[in-house]
């Protein structure tokens, strides 16, 4: 029988955003970056209250359709607890629908908050599973749960009836690596951008991406001089260039200058991984072209606090 949480119990979670694919690791590689959403959840006597500050405050729903609320309810169910009512305060700094893992961070925040309210019965493996379910792939969610970089994969049950199993393992990142995000002022729909991908690719292109994904895991951990080579891709970025021309232009411009630039997730953000700051002149050009620049670090795990209001 489910246990009902006492009124006044409170949890605060701070979840990092993420960059996915890292070039060749389509739906496989991810990395947490130091841009954060914070969610405060309090158990109240009844009802649902959702307050939003920052990114998405004009557009996101304030009812049970909010992704944080959905993940919170899923987490409470997984922990076998209930709440008579909930009050959420979401303070968002991760840009929405820009390829920096805002949706995954929302799902992770809800799952983490539920776990905290319930007394932490769910381990990281279960949290990755819960939060990945909402997106259908674990690269962003795995990074936001585990921090640093992750290698992720999805196990499809052979019975055709069970739910997919989402897995992610953390890998260390060389202490000198930093991330620079160039964020255009328009949104990109993950589903729309996925629709331009072909149903089949050549064996040559598949082999190319397998090799560069392997290179990238080495580059991240101990050989950052290989980041440029490790971010090369033939499986998704060339096909997305026509629907994301601004992104493609900046990826090419930066790569031609020797920077390990790639399309972050489904875009439109351009991400650069490097051990030295990107030249000021390039960043000034990006700002003049209407892009927002975020100079970021590789992020650790999310933080969680529990208390009583």
On whether 104 is known to bind a ligand per the annotation, the reply is yes
On whether 24 is known to bind a ligand per the annotation, the reply is no
Q: How many CB atoms lie within 10 A of CB 43?
A: 22
| DSSP character string of 199-253 | S---HHHHHHHHHHHHHHHHHHHT-GGGHHHHT--SSSHHHHTTT-HHHHHHHHH
On whether 106 is known to bind a ligand per the annotation, the reply is no
On whether 18 is known to bind a ligand per the annotation, the reply is no
On whether 113 is known to bind a ligand per the annotation, the reply is no
On whether 100 is known to bind a ligand per the annotation, the reply is yes
On whether 95 is known to bind a ligand per the annotation, the reply is yes
| Contacting residues for 238 by C-beta, under 8 A, at least 6 apart | none
> Are the beta carbons of 270 and 251 closer than 8 angstroms?
yes
- How is residue 126 written in tokens? 């279960």
- How is residue 165 written in tokens? 């199993």
On whether 280 is known to bind a ligand per the annotation, the reply is no
On whether 85 is known to bind a ligand per the annotation, the reply is no
Largest separation between any pair of C-alpha atoms in the chain? 62
Write a three-state SS string for 271-295.
EEEECCCCCHHHHHHHHHCCCEEEE
Q: What is the DSSP letter of 100?
A: S
Binding site membership for ATP: which residues? Answer: 95-105
Binding site membership: which residues? Answer: 95-105
């Amino acid at each position: 029988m489910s246990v009902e949480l006492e009124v006044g119990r409170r949890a605060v979670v701070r979840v990092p955003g993420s960059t996915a694919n890292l070039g060749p690791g389509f739906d496989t590689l991810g990395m947490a970056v130091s841009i954060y959403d914070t969610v405060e959840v309090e158990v109240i006597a009844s009802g649902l209250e959702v307050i939003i500050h920052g990114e998405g405050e004009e557009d996101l729903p304030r009812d049970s359709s909010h992704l944080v609320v959905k993940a919170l309810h899923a987490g409470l169910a997984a922990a076998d607890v209930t709440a008579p009512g909930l009050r959420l305060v979401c303070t968002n700094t991760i840009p929405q629908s820009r390829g920096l893992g805002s949706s995954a961070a929302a799902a992770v925040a809800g799952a983490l908050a539920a776990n905290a309210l319930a007394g932490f019965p769910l381990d990281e493996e279960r949290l990755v599973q819960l939060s990945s379910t909402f997106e259908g792939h674990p690269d962003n969610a795995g990074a936001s749960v585990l921090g640093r970089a992750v290698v992720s994969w999805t196990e499809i049950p052979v019975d055709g009836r069970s739910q997919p199993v989402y897995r992610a393992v953390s890998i260390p990142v060389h202490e000198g690596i930093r991330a620079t995000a160039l964020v255009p002022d328009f949104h990109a729909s993950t589903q729309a951008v996925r629709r331009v991908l072909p149903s089949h690719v050549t064996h040559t292109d598949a082999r190319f991406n397998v090799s560069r994904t392997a290179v990238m895991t080495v580059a991240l951990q101990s050989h950052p001089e290989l980041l440029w080579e490790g971010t090369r891709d033939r499986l998704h970025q060339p096909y997305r260039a026509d629907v994301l021309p601004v992104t493609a232009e900046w990826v090419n411009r930066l790569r031609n200058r020797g920077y390990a630039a790639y399309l972050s997730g489904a875009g439109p953000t351009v991400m650069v991984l490097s051990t030295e700051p990107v030249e000021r002149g390039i960043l000034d050009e990006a700002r003049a072209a209407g892009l927002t620049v975020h100079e970021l670090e590789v992020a650790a795990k999310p933080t969680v606090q529990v208390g009583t209001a």
